[in-house]
Amino acid sequence: MSRILLAPMEGLADDLLRGVLTSIGGYDWGICEFVRVSNTLLPAKTYERICPELLNGSRTASGTPMRVQLLGSDPLMMAENARRLVTLNPAGIDLNFGCPAPTVNRHRGGAALLGEPELLHAIAAAVRAVVAVDTPFTAKMRLGIDDTSRAVDCAQALVAAGIDELIVHGRTKADGYRPPARWEWIDRVRAAIDIPLIANGEVWTVEDFRNCQQATGCPDIMLGRGAVADPLLARRVRGEAVGGWEEILPGVGDYWLGIRRKVVPLHAGGRLKQWLAMLRRNYPEAEVLFQQLRPVKAAHDIDRLLLKAGILATLPPALREGC
């Protein structure tokens, strides 16, 4: 049976949204947002802040295993930080060679390293040396920086360094998130390595999922923004009977309560609106709610609106001021 995995999405799928998406269901495992490694040995609290699932057996509240992703360019520091991470018993460790963000790439991180297969090998080999064989060890990469000419070289370098599985996002750094994803190139990479490859990129529907499988030759697919835009997508792919907006709505309420506990009121509304803006791709009800919330700035005013709409049944005492 195919595995369906939840992608790491910096600035989008934090632990709150991961918790909601995995509670709705359909995922075998996922990867958290990246932990940036520079020239210091990070304390345990850094990993636990970015991946609070580590405090719950490296699983979301609904039981989905969540792996921790490291991003950096220094093999020694990546290895030393992986050594510390191992003591926290993560469900797995992943290396980030896919982030296209300019702020990350300027500091030699993520997809900016895809022109240096030898460095990818050195990083992965150093981390492999401190990660036990019974801890899943993966890497996630794009197809290159400006073109795909070194995609196979990068993949083979990571395989030679000892990773267990490779995840490939079917775009270059320069592609950003512009469609289409280059699924045919994922197939070329898959044919050139001898470990499992997981395909990622531009899967928004069940039809996309099947087409991606066929084009890449990969049975296992990682869902990213498509999962955020349709939280029921993984279960649709599995052929399960699903509802619609009414099945997602409790998750919207849970997400908002989580935001209110975690985020300062000034920025709380933006987080909810960001998710609703993606949900409206598939759900007209999300468009209605988004338009209702769009002009509302204050968190307490959003509380009132969600209570009136029945999305929240009540507020915890700590949040009731002003309501």
Closest to 315 measured CA to CA, from 130, 306, 286, 58 = 306
Are the C-beta atoms of 172 and 199 separated by less than 8 Å? Answer: no
Q: Which ranges in 230-310 belong to alpha helices (H)?
A: 233-237, 245-262, 265-279, 284-293, 299-308
Q: Tell me the average pLDDT across 301-305.
A: 95
Mean pLDDT along residues 180-191: 98
User: Topology of domain 4-237, per CATH?
Assistant: TIM Barrel (3.20.20)
Residue 96 CB neighbour total at 10 angstroms: 25
Question: What's residue 294's pLDDT?
Answer: 96
pTM above 0.85, yes or no: yes
What are 19-72's pLDDT values in tens digits? Answer: 999 999 999 999 999 999 999 999 999 999 999 999 999 999 999 999 999 999
Among 32, 99, 154, 218, the one annotated catalytic: 99
Identify residue 54 by its one-letter amino acid code: L
Domain ranges of the chain: 4-237, 246-318
Is 212 one of the annotated active-site residues of the chain?
no
241-268: average pLDDT = 94
162 pLDDT band, cuts 50/70/90, is very high
CATH topology of domain 246-318: Bacteriocin As-48; Chain A (1.20.225)
> Hey, is 170 helix, strand or coil?
coil
pLDDT at residue 321, rounded to an integer: 61
Check residue 103 and give its pLDDT.
Answer: 74
How far apart, in Å, do the first and last CA atoms of the chain sit?
A: 49
